[in-house]
Structure formats: structure tokens, C-alpha cells
Amino acid sequence: MIFSIDKNPAGEAALVDDSGTSITYGELNGYVKEFGNRIKGRALIFCFCKNMPGSVIGYLGCLENHHVALLLDKNLEQQFLETLVEIYQPSYFWIPTQLRYKITGMFKELIYEAQGYELFSTGNEAPDMSDELSLLLTTSGSMGNPKLVRLSRDNLVSNAQAIADYLQLSPEERPVTSLPMNYTYGLSVINSHLISGGSILLTEKSVVQQEFWDFVKEKKATSFSGVPYTYELLKKIKIMNQDLTSIRYFTQAGGKLSSAMQKEFAVWAKEKGKRFYIMYGQTEATARMSYLPEERCLDKIGSIGIPIPGGRFLIKAPDGNYIDKPDTVGELIYMGSNVSLGYAQCRKDLINGDENNGVLETGDMARKDEDGYYYIAGRKKRFIKIYGVRIGLDECEQLLINKYEGAEFACTGCDDELHIYTTDSQINEQVCSWLSEVLHISRKAFTSHYIEEIPKNNAGKKLYSGLELKN
């Protein structure tokens, strides 16, 4: 079976949630087989994700039975969902019972139920799909855009095994789900621990809720994963003062952690006898591409570390040649079996084979030091990361233009900060709240600025550098 879950002891817990539900590996294998028996042929299935056993069952049921799942945020904006349904025409929905209203009018019949989830058929014929295709994930910069990342079974398994290797995972591991499973980082936590035979602790609670930490302590969680914003929250709630005896290691990815924060958590972890790992990845590489070994966390502040087992980095100059000289910036190129097959922007793209051939142009500018450790220097394209989510600045502008007809917009920013410039003073105070709601990102990450005219060059293109000087 996928991730070799059938080789784990049948009586050991695979999934444990905060409502008291516990599912053994033997029971999980049974659910996965039963899920597959309810579906005819090979299907495209939209799966709405929650950190609960039913979500994991549907995900594994799709992978093991050669179906293709698109993992979606349970809070996905309805208009975006309708766009995806119109373009990709799924044959089935796998959705939490309480969210059935989101697909009203989109399905024909209920054909299966398990662990708080329901499987609905739509009557749509399955699209022609590549035999390699196993999973679809939304790109974190594709708000309102149907662009998906196409992943193979080999992408998923190889990356899960690489993560398990460098984190030295064992069957005794009990990770707690502090991230959504439709997010590539959160999914990698699940995959790497399934392949290691661990017990996954599932909860929808937030890290700022005491119930989350009560669950951690009750079930003796052994690891915690978070994006930079998560660690900011941990500091605010003074997590370092709590008794977290069972947690053996912490991981961080989804954007650059500040040097001060990295040092603070690394020092604390060392004092408490815990491991702290910095990691780097993209959805286009399944999840992880590099990690900073915990013993180098303090002397390599700011580094994304070294390639994962089986992976390789190169740095490419603007002229296309590769750079060997240390501390010279170029575009970071990654090579490995976890590199995705490519993108899909419409239904007919699902038949496409491997377009990347194991090579990913990351779009990040980077350098390598004399010891072979890599550092991100900036972004080649107009993307930023806010609380671990990659946001396309051009797409933000288009969303605002579509919402506020007649107004001009320009967006700039850096990690965890998005600046919106508008020529309409009447909506200046509204735009941040509206975009925050659309993107499901905290309002405090957005700042608006009224500007009489957005600077442009002679060709009419926006001069973003002029805006940045006004910040």
C-alpha cells in the first residue's frame, strides 16, 4: 500500500483525534480498501480537508486505488470552488458532513460515509489522466486561479522517505497536526510519519487555544511543525514556559524565520534537549527540498541548509551558466525525484506527463557558502510569503481591480507584509479587510496607502520600485 501502511503493526494506532477517536493501521487499511470499492473506474475526486481521520482516509483511499485527489481547504471561497468545479468537472466529492452545503446542486447521490465524511458522485465522466498522476494541490500563489501542481506517487513516497530519513523518524513518533493537510508542509508531516509507522495526532484546534496544548500533553506528542507566524504565536503565548516534556523536535518551514527568532528557539531547544530544524520547500517539489541540521542551527543562522537525501541544488547565473563560486547569488535550481510533473491549468492538462523531468527552477535567488550551506537572497518573481502561504502580488492586484471597478491598485511587500496602494481614497480603509477575508489571512499582515497616482514608465508599466520608496 501507499507509504507501506500495510506493513505497520495492525494493532498500532495510526490516527488519533482530539474527540477520542483512534484508528489502528489495520482499520486504516480496511477503510482505504472500502473507499476504493465504492468508486467505479479511475476518478477525479475533490477532497475537502480537515485535520480529522475521515480526511486522511479519503486521501489515502484515492492514492491507493489509483484515483486522483485534489486536496482543498475546507474554507475555500465558494466562488473559487465553483470555478474549479466548472473547469475540472470532478466525478466525486469527499467532504465533511457539516460542509455538505458547499456543494449544494453539484452532486447526484451519496454513495459512502466514514468517520464524519461523505462521498458524493456528480455524474461527470472522468477526464483522461496520465498514469503517473496521483495528486493535485493548489499552488499557494493561485488565489482565484485554477492552476494546480501535478504530483506522482513517486514524488510523494520519495519525499516522505527523505524527510523520515533526515528527521530520523521511528514508529514511536506522535506528531500533532498544527498545519492544514491540504497545505504541502502539513501534508508532508502526515506522509513522512505514515511511512515511519508513527501515530498522527489530529486536531483542528489552534496553537493559541489551551485545548491544543492539553491534547499535546494528554497524547504525548513528540513533534511540532510550524510556519514563521506560528512561531511568533508560540512566543506570544510563552510556550517556552510550558512543560513540553514529550516533544522531541520542532520543525519550521513556509518562509524565512527571523534571525532573532531562529536563535531564540534554537537556544531554547538546545537547553531543553530538543532538536530544532529549519526547512525549505515548495509545492512544486512535493514539500521539502532542504533542511538545516539541528546541530548547525546556531552557527548557520538564516540558512535553508543542505539538500534533502537524494536531492541536489545548483545556482544558475542570468546567462544560464552554473555558479561554483561561494557567496555568489543566482537562481536556485533543484533536482530530485520529488519534483512535480508540472502544472495543470485546465482539465485537458491532466493527461500531460512529466514536464519537469526532475528539475525545478525555484524562482528564488540564493547563494551557497564555503561549507555548502544555502541561503535565500530574494525572489525572482513577484511572490511573497505571508504566514507560510505564498501570495502572488499580481494576482492580489487583479482581485482588487475586479472588486473595486475604476480604482487603480499596486501591491508590494515582503514576507508577512503586504502593502496595497490605491488611487481611490474612499476605499483606502476597506481594501485590507476585504483582501484579508478573501485570502483567509490575518488582517494585520496588510497595510493600505492612498496615492494620487501610481508611478509608471513610458510604456505604462507600473514602477514598483517607486512605490517601495514610499513605504
Q: What pLDDT score was predicted for residue 458?
A: 47
pLDDT digits (tens, 9 = 90+) for 105-114: 999 999 999 9
Mean pLDDT, rounded, for 80-99: 96
> What one-letter code names the amino acid at 44?
L
Counting Cα atoms < 13 Å in the Cβ hemisphere of 392 gives 16
Beta-bridge partner residues of 410: 421
Q: What pLDDT score was predicted for residue 213?
A: 97
Say yes or no: 343 and 452 in one domain. Answer: no
Say yes or no: 349 and 424 in one domain. Answer: no
Say yes or no: 423 and 344 in one domain. Answer: no
Q: What pLDDT score was predicted for residue 457?
A: 60
Q: Is residue 80 part of a domain?
A: yes
Beta-bridge partner residues of 251: 225, 277
Verdict on whether the full-model pTM lies above 0.75: yes
Mean pLDDT, rounded, for 423-432: 89
**Domains in the chain: how many in total?**
2
- For residue 143, pLDDT over 60 is answered with no
Query: What gap in Å lies between CA 377 and CA 286, rounded to an integer?
Result: 22
Say yes or no: 179 and 297 in one domain. Answer: yes
Q: What pLDDT score was predicted for residue 459?
A: 41
Domain residues for 423?
A: 383-468
The set of cell numbers assigned to 3 is 507509504
* Selection from 308, 283, 271 nearest residue 293 by Cα: 308
Mark residue 358 as left, alpha or beta (left: phi above 0; alpha: psi -120 to 50; beta: remaining).
left
Backbone phi and psi for residue 381, each to the nearest 5 degrees, phi listed first: -115, 175
Tell me which of 141 and 337 has the higher pLDDT.
337
Q: What pLDDT score was predicted for residue 461?
A: 60
Mean pLDDT, rounded, for 410-434: 90
The CATH code of the domain that includes 87 is 3.40.50.12780
- For residue 440, pLDDT over 50 is answered with yes
Q: Is residue 320 part of a domain?
A: no
Backbone phi and psi for residue 263, each to the nearest 5 degrees, phi listed first: -65, -45
pLDDT over 70 percentage in the chain:
97
Say yes or no: 8 and 142 in one domain. Answer: yes
pLDDT digits (tens, 9 = 90+) for 346-386: 999 999 999 999 999 999 889 999 999 999 887 777 778 89
Q: What pLDDT score was predicted for residue 140?
A: 58
Report residue 193's pLDDT band, with 50, 70 and 90 as the boundaries. Answer: very high
Q: Is residue 362 part of a domain?
A: no
Say yes or no: 23 and 129 in one domain. Answer: yes
Say yes or no: 143 and 286 in one domain. Answer: yes
